[in-house]
Amino acid sequence: MYASFTFGAAITTILAAVSTVSAQQACNGYSQLCSVPYHHISTIVTHNSYGFAANPAANQACSVSTQLDDGVRGLKLSAVLPSNVSASDPANNIHLCHTSCTILDAGPAKDTLSEVGSWLKNNPNEVVTIMWNTPNNKAFKPTDFQAIYEAAGLVDISYTQPSGNNTWPTLQEMISSGKRLVTFTDLGANQKEVPWLLSEFDYVFETPYDNSNENSFKCTIDRPGDPSDPENMMYVMNHFLYGSLNLGGTAIEIPQKGKANSTNGDSLLNQAKNCQSTFGRNPTFLEVDFFNYGNTLQIVAQLNNVTYTETPLKCNQQSSSTAGGASAKSDASSLLSTSSSMYSSLVFVSLGSILLWTL
Ligand SMILES: *[C@@H]1O[C@H](CO)[C@@H](O)[C@H](O)[C@H]1NC(C)=O
Ligand SMILES: *[C@@H]1O[C@H](CO)[C@@H](O)[C@H](O)[C@H]1NC(C)=O
Ligand SMILES: *[C@@H]1O[C@H](CO)[C@@H](O)[C@H](O)[C@H]1NC(C)=O
Ligand SMILES: *[C@@H]1O[C@H](CO)[C@@H](O)[C@H](O)[C@H]1NC(C)=O
């Protein structure tokens, strides 16, 4: 009797120990972050996360799920209506395109969102943020976003933060509640209609994004023009460079892969420190091109006061043929050797806007 009681107690102790271990699982890779509120954590956001095809307009080097595997927790996506798709075809009308779908079309957004959904299912202790931008100021309806999130199975895990509340739950609270996908859009939100589609500029401001050299990064508020609560809102620190390429007398802007090691190294940490001193808190979202170059993940670990464990990035293996980065020059020559239809669409679009590829 006594022996079996002891045995039972031992089992109970073991079970308690096991559940303690699982309660102490990492949140976004670090157990120390479980108790930290979402808005106090610094995260790498990939600029134009979907743009990783071999294309001079690409801002990244590997797929969205590889980015997530490597530790990226924020995705900046562009919602664009292709000219040959009907606006009234929810679930198919939003494509991931680089300003114009003739330049870079990564397909219907719901496909990439499904990839994110599978990744989240396989990684139950992770909180991910999606930020939509709407190039050309073309707003989609909240119900269009609802349709693609439904198609991708993402509605159930989408988190709703009440508008006007800048105090977010901890990562552990979000994970335990099962609501661990946060979605912002710069245009087209209506939280009365679709509560989880958060209006970015009610919660977040951004530093200027149109930078052409490392000295141009500034810690000033660029968008929105009139932030409601700049002392308490989260912020995106934009930290990527555009180069100018002269195409037939017209200047167009292209990502600078050849400079990314440097842009994403000390330059990134220095701007984070500058913004920390300007705004009194660390950047929430560090938005970068080619996150696999430089020290992006080491830098956010440092800002988050956690210890980064050096591990080879899957992204470098996936993009090994171009690892180390094509130079700006080879980007230019590959651009010049792309098809004439792409060339003419580039020229066409660039005539329309000098900030051709800035978003
Ligand atoms: C739209 O055009 C693209 C590029 O030509 C093509 O790949 C795609 O299949 C077309 N989509 C539809 C719905 O026709
Ligand atoms: C703001 O949201 C947090 C997290 O959900 C919650 O704990 C808090 O009560 C909310 N504050 C207000 C004033 O509603
Ligand atoms: C890391 O430490 C700094 C300085 O004490 C603090 O401002 C920041 O909020 C901390 N970050 C996290 C995620 O705890
Ligand atoms: C970037 O840094 C990596 C690692 O140090 C190096 O292998 C690669 O050649 C560098 N790429 C460029 C474009 O400087």
Q: pLDDT tens, 93-142? A: 999 998 889 888 999 999 999 999 999 999 999 999 999 999 877 789 99
DSSP H or E stretch at residue 321: none
For strand 197-199 and strand 181-185, is the pairing parallel, antiparallel, or unpaired? Answer: parallel
pLDDT at residue 24, as a whole number: 54
Ligand 4 pocket check for 235: Cβ under 6 Å: no
| CB of 298 closer than 8 Å to CB of 313 | no
CA-CA distances (angstroms) from residue 271 to 233, 266, 276? Answer: 18, 9, 8
The pLDDT assigned to 47 comes to 97
Q: Which stretches of the chain are DSSP H helices?
A: 2-23, 64-70, 109-122, 142-151, 171-177, 200-203, 260-263, 266-279, 296-303, 314-318, 328-336, 340-352
pLDDT of the residue at 341:
36
Across residues 188-216, what is the average pLDDT?
A: 96
Query: Stretch 32-37: mean pLDDT, rounded?
Result: 98
Confidence band of 90 (pLDDT split at 50, 70, 90): confident
DSSP-based helix, strand, coil % in the chain, nearest 5: 40, 20, 45
For ligand 3, atom 13, name the residue with the nearest CA. 304
266-279 and 296-303 helices, crossing angle to 10°: 30
For residue 96, with 0-12 CB atoms within 10 Å meaning exposed, 13-18 middle and 19 or more buried, which class applies? buried
Asked whether the predicted pLDDT for residue 271 surpasses 70, the reply is yes
Per-residue pLDDT at 319? 65
Output the residue whose Cα is nearest ligand 3's atom 14. 304
Q: Does any ligand 1 atom lie closer than 6 A to the CB of residue 265?
A: no
Cα–Cα distance for residue pair 178/113, rounded to 1 Å = 17
- Contacts of 328-337 with CB under 8 Å at 24 or more apart are 328/243, 328/254, 328/256, 328/257, 328/258, 328/259, 329/258, 331/56, 331/243, 331/245, 331/254, 331/255, 331/257, 331/258, 332/56, 332/245, 332/254, 334/54, 334/56, 335/56, 335/245, 335/247, 335/254, 336/247
pLDDT given for residue 76 in this prediction: 98
**Mutation test residue for ligand 3: of 172, 304, 308, the one with most atoms within 8 Å of CB:** 304
Q: Give the position of tokens 């102790």.
A: 13
Tokens 């245009």, located at residue: 187
Q: Which residues contact 266 (CB under 8 A, 6 or more apart)?
A: none
Per-residue confidence (pLDDT) for residue 357, from 0 to 100: 40
Look at 65-74, 110-119, 224-233, 322-331 and tell me which has the smallest mean pLDDT.
Answer: 322-331
- pLDDT 10s digits, 206-253: 999 999 999 999 999 999 999 999 999 999 999 999 988 777 777 777
Instruction: Give the distance between the most distant pair of CA atoms in the chain.
Output: 92
Q: What's the 106 CA to ligand 1 centre distance in angstroms?
A: 12
Give the DSSP H or E segment for 75.
strand 74-80
Q: What pLDDT was estimated at residue 332? A: 38
Ligand 2, CB within 6 Å, residue ranges: 165, 167-169
- What confidence score (pLDDT) does residue 99 get? 82
Whether ligand 1 lies within 6 angstroms of the CB of 323 is answered as no
**Relative to the alpha carbon of 325, which ligand is closest?**
4
Cα–Cα distance, 197 to 154 (Å, whole number): 12
- What's the confidence (pLDDT) of residue 300? 98
pLDDT at 187 over 90: yes
Domains of the chain listed by start with CATH number: 37-352 (3.20.20.190)
At residue 8 the predicted structure's pLDDT band, cuts being 50, 70 and 90, is: very low
